[in-house]
Amino acid sequence: MAICVALFPGHICADVDTHTVRTAETLSHVAARYGVSVADLKRWNSLSSDRIAVGQTLTVAQSGDSYIVRRGDTLSAIALRSGISLADLRRLNKLRGDRIRVGQTLRLRPEPAPMRLANTATLVVRRGDTLSGIAAAHGTTVTHLRRLNELQDDEIQMGQTLRITGKEPDTEEDEDPPEVYAVRLGDNLSRIGDRFDVGLVQLRQLNNLKGDQIHPGQKLRLRPKPEEEGTHVVQRGQTLSEIAAEHHIDLAELRRLNGIDGDLIRPGQKLHMRSTPSTVHVVERGDALWEIARAYGMTVNDLKALNDLTGDRIYPGQELHLSPDSSSRLASYTVARGDNLSEIAQLHQMSVAELQKLNNLAGSVIHPGQTLQVRPLLGHAHRLEVSQIPWSDLLASIDGLPVIEVDNGPYFGQRPKADHQPSTKYSEIHPRSPLKTYRQALKVWNAFERRVEGIGRLSSDLEGWHIVLDPGHGGVDPGAIVPTVDGDGRKLYVVEDEYVYDITMRAYVLLRLHGANVNVTLLSPNHLIRHTAPPAQTFVHEMNEVFNSLVYNRRDRPNDWPMGTSRGLAERVRIAEEAFHGTPRRRTIFLSFHADIDPRAPEGAMVLYYESRSNRDSASRTFAQALLPALGAGALTRGQSLAVLRKNPASVKALIEVRNLAYVDQAWALRFEQLRHRDAEKIVRGVLDYARGERLAGR
């Protein structure tokens, strides 16, 4: 391989690479190894056929293979200049988002994959082989190879024999289907769709297929690329023209769709990339099949039949056809103080152009009290059974603790001094001791429990199940405090623990209404479910949550407030042990709620189960996978060694990263009461799906 030394920032290495043909190699093997096409190899080497000889020198690249980032560069601009897609550039460099740094070296084409003879069930690792390279060469995934060979990580040794094909030991299919699949002998389109949970309409559309005919060796795309999704979230430094070029859309059309007069855009702004009729729903990250069907007045089975879906997994960017009368099922939205057209459109998964056309608006001026027609908000439309819940009655006065109604409340007895979180450093602490705080928190909680008990039931599907909910962080530990912006570009701050506590409270109510016995690990002395009207308001970091344990708080010491220590995590597990004492173990569930802040992690919800080098909690892995269809498009599972799950007595336990605050639009979404309630509903739906499956399996 040629070596290229970058002489200055931004220099693209452009040396011509060569390869010497070895025994048993074919032109297609060489092409696969260097990530190029056979046609390019033939053109670069003036070959009239596919025949090559041992010892022959082949040119295998004629473009740069790396790029050094310079000041002002964006990932999308580099992709455009280099002639590759943004998704491929992310994949080549293992980037979860679009963040890059000055001086960083980016690969512009794949590393050489190890050449192997076709149709081998095993291979012997050679010098320079990597697990990812072997997976790419054989059309499989790293996850599959790890499980097939019972590897704890990606480390492999020279001389090691790896299984390439076969059934994984005691596992189901991979959680994450590959993006591309190489057709094998005996495959058909329907079987591939079933295996990877991809609908036939989607498969045909992604691969420009007129019918169902495929052939061995054909590469089939299984998921839309990020640039093919229906929306794009603006990253820092991006321009409107770059985004238009990346998504192959006319700049004027991009402006029209999003109600933009000039070129001014802001980081975190969500732009729509396509216009669709009212009888088509373009899937966004987090959309679930069941809530799309409910929003548009359809059954899940009807929606699946209309789109040739065999499973319940859907993917960002996928277009779902709705029943012909779905266009008449619109919802109404009353404009509140501080609202703007762009944010209302984003909330209802519409383009500004669609919202303007639907309401005969010539511009973007709206006023409080105005009623707009909108697409139904997923998780909220046609929820007759949930809308009957008297939510406001759950927050009535408590003896000695009057209700304080504020925009980011209500609060009981005492409200935070600040109206919103003003910075990443700001905090307020409750003036009482941990023990006094616990006693007040228990008073608030007991009144709340009694009111929930008096509502009645939505179902008895969770009768006999015992569930412990753990709001992540809390007390002295706020988790992540991240800046975001509202629809007008004004800076706001989101405090992780305050928001996941609200989601926990909403999940608690819904689980109880389905018959579950539910406990929580943390209590607050002055708030339960809180609203956010207008959405520009944010929750304040109050360091006043306490552990739900008299024994723990009886010592009444300053270091008894919850904090991110091993002692605090162990206390959460101990509370679960106490809650599960004397209950049937196989019907116990522990859920810890968090919001991630990792730009390397996916944007969608992540369900983590316990896995260490020596142990995997297989039951919890199955539980985590059962939650995915309910959590929606882009949701994933992973095994991780987490203290709050280790030695946890629940039969199944998981830590759910409900959203990833490293993505500006995810922090934006968390501020909305409607979307937090939607997050809670999706989690509860996943628990219901799992419990119903367990009941059927036990018959």
For residue 653, give the nearest of 627, 692, 689 by alpha carbon.
627
Residues 597, 601, 602, 604: is their CA dihedral positive or negative?
Answer: negative
Q: Model confidence at 143, in pLDDT bands (50, 70, 90)?
A: low
**Domain 231-384 architecture:** Roll (3.10)
Instruction: Give the span between the Cα atoms of 120 and 129, in whole angstroms.
Output: 16
For residue 534, whether the previous peptide bond is cis, meaning omega lies within 30 degrees of 0, is yes
Q: What is the pLDDT of residue 128?
A: 65
Quick one: average pLDDT of 496-504?
Answer: 96
Where do we find the tokens 């209802």?
A: 348
Token code pair at residue 677: 């309630």
Where do we find the tokens 């855009």?
A: 265
- Higher per-residue confidence, 619 vs 248: 619
Q: Model confidence at 5, in pLDDT bands (50, 70, 90)?
A: very low
Residue range 465-487, pLDDT digits in tens: 999 999 999 999 999 999 888 76
Instruction: Give the span between the Cα atoms of 41 and 28, in whole angstroms.
Output: 9
What average pLDDT is seen over the chain?
82
Residue range 62-113, pLDDT digits in tens: 545 667 777 777 887 777 766 677 777 888 888 877 888 877 878 876 654 4
The pair phi, psi for residue 499, each rounded to 5°, is -80, -40
Residue range 269-296, pLDDT digits in tens: 888 888 888 788 999 888 999 999 988 8
Would the pLDDT of 697 be above 60? no
Quick one: average pLDDT of 136-160?
Answer: 72
N- to C-terminal Cα distance for the chain? 62
- Which H or E element spans position 663? none
Q: Are 656 and 607 in contact (CB under 8 A)?
A: yes
Decide if 180-223 and 231-384 have a common fold: yes
Lowest mean pLDDT among 33-47, 48-62, 376-390: 376-390
Quick one: average pLDDT of 571-596?
Answer: 95
Instruction: Give the span between the Cα atoms of 341 and 623, in whole angstroms.
Output: 40
- Which H or E element spans position 694? helix 673-697
Q: How do the domains of the chain map onto residue ranges?
A: 180-223, 231-384, 385-697
- Higher per-residue confidence, 213 vs 179: 213
Would the pLDDT of 551 be above 80? yes
Residues 6+ apart with CB under 8 A from 295: 329, 375, 376, 377, 378, 379, 380, 381, 382
The pair phi, psi for residue 616, each rounded to 5°, is -125, 130
Q: What is the pLDDT of residue 382?
A: 36
Using DSSP's 3-state secondary structure scheme, residue 449 falls into: helix
Quick one: average pLDDT of 4-23?
Answer: 48
Q: Which CATH class, in words, describes the domain spanning 180-223?
A: alpha beta
Would the pLDDT of 631 be above 70? yes
Would the pLDDT of 152 be above 70? no
Instruction: Give the span between the Cα atoms of 589 and 650, in whole angstroms.
Output: 5
Would the pLDDT of 645 be above 90? yes
Q: Model confidence at 37, in pLDDT bands (50, 70, 90)?
A: low
Would the pLDDT of 169 be above 80? no
Q: What is the pLDDT of residue 63?
A: 47
For residue 138, give the nearest of 149, 61, 441 by alpha carbon.
149
Using DSSP's 3-state secondary structure scheme, residue 591 falls into: strand
Lowest mean pLDDT among 41-45, 149-153, 158-162: 149-153
Residues 6+ apart with CB under 8 A from 439: none
> What amino acid is encoded at 561 in this protein?
W
Would the pLDDT of 690 be above 60? yes
Instruction: Give the span between the Cα atoms of 47 and 42, in whole angstroms.
Output: 5
Would the pLDDT of 500 be above 90? yes
Would the pLDDT of 257 be above 90? no
Best-predicted range by mean pLDDT (317-321, 351-355, 657-661):
657-661
Would the pLDDT of 652 be above 70? yes
Q: Are 235 and 98 in contact (CB under 8 A)?
A: yes
Where do we find the tokens 């700049």?
A: 251
For strand 403-404 and strand 606-610, is the pairing parallel, antiparallel, or unpaired? unpaired
Lowest mean pLDDT among 31-45, 304-318, 650-664: 31-45
Q: What share of the chain is helix, strand, coil (3-state, %, to 5)?
A: 30, 15, 50
Q: Model confidence at 519, in pLDDT bands (50, 70, 90)?
A: very high
Q: Model confidence at 13, in pLDDT bands (50, 70, 90)?
A: very low
Instruction: Give the span between the Cα atoms of 145 and 132, in whole angstroms.
Output: 9
Would the pLDDT of 385 be above 50? no
Task: Give the CA distances from residue 648 to residues 166, 208, 514, 574, in Å, rounded to whole numbers and listed in that order.
Answer: 33, 49, 24, 8
The pair phi, psi for residue 420, each rounded to 5°, is -160, 165
C-alpha 136, offset from chain centre? 24
> What amino acid is encoded at 621 in this protein?
R
CATH 3.40.630.40 fits 385-697, yes or no: yes
Q: What is the pLDDT of residue 327?
A: 60
Q: What is the pLDDT of residue 176?
A: 56
Token code pair at residue 222: 């299984």
Q: Model confidence at 156, in pLDDT bands (50, 70, 90)?
A: confident
Beta bridge partners of 495: 481
Instruction: Give the span between the Cα atoms of 541 and 655, in whole angstroms.
Output: 22
Tell me, yes or no, if the pTM score tops 0.75: no
Would the pLDDT of 15 be above 50? no
- Higher per-residue confidence, 691 vs 229: 691
Beta strands in 499-558 (DSSP E): 517-520, 522-523, 546-547
The 3-class SS string of 26-78 reads: CHHHHHHHHCCCHHHHHHHCCCCCCCCCCCCEEEEECCCCEEECCCCCCHHHH
Q: What is the pLDDT of residue 599?
A: 79
Token code pair at residue 539: 């929750």
Q: Are 373 and 330 in contact (CB under 8 A)?
A: yes
Token code pair at residue 264: 């001014």
